A and B are shown apart, each in its own frame.
Chain A
Amino acid sequence: MAKITFPVEASHIMMFARAIGDTNPVYHDAAAAKQTEAGGIIAPPTFPQAVAQFDPDYHLRPKPGQKWFGSGKTPSGIEGKPPSSGSLHAEHHYEYHRHLRPGDVLTVETHQGGVWEKESKRAGKLTFRERITEYRDQLGALVITVRSVGVTTERPVDQG
Chain B
Amino acid sequence: MALKASSLKVGDTHSERVVENLTRTQIVQYAGASGDYNPLHHDEIYTTRVAGYPSIFAHGMLTMGLTGKVVTDFVGDGTLTRFGVRFTNQVWPGDTLDAKATVLAVREDGGQHYVDLAVSTVNQDGKEVMSGSATARIDP
- A residues near B, CB below 8 A? 12, 15-16, 18-22, 24, 26, 36-38, 42, 44-46, 49-55, 58, 60-62, 69-71, 75-76, 83-86, 88-96, 98-99, 147, 155-157, 159
Contacts and interface: CB of A to CB of B under 8 A. Distances in A.
A93 B85 contact: yes
B75 to A, nearest CB: 10
Given A21-B26, A94-B82, A96-B80, A16 B34 contact: yes
Contact of B51 (A45, A94, A156): A156
Given A22-B69, A69-B39, 20 more contacts: A15-B33, A16-B65, A20-B62, A20-B66, A22-B65, A26-B77, A45-B83, A52-B36, A58-B35, A69-B50, A76-B46, A83-B50, A91-B86, A92-B61, A95-B81, A96-B80, A96-B82, A98-B78, A156-B51, A156-B52
Q: Is the interface of A mostly helix, strand, loop or mixed?
A: loop
Most chain B CB atoms below 10 A, which of A46, A58, A96, A98 = A46
Interface of B: 1-2, 18-19, 26, 29-30, 32-40, 43, 45-46, 49-54, 59-62, 64-66, 68-69, 71-73, 76-87, 90, 132
29 contacts: A12-B33, A15-B32, A20-B30, A21-B18, A21-B66, A24-B73, A37-B1, A42-B78, A45-B80, A52-B34, A52-B35, A52-B36, A60-B36, A60-B38, A70-B43, A71-B49, A75-B46, A75-B50, A84-B50, A84-B51, A86-B38, A89-B59, A89-B87, A91-B87, A92-B60, A92-B64, A93-B84, A93-B85, A157-B90
- Nearest 4 pairs of A and B residues by beta carbon: A93-B84, A70-B39, A20-B65, A89-B60
A92 B80 contact: no
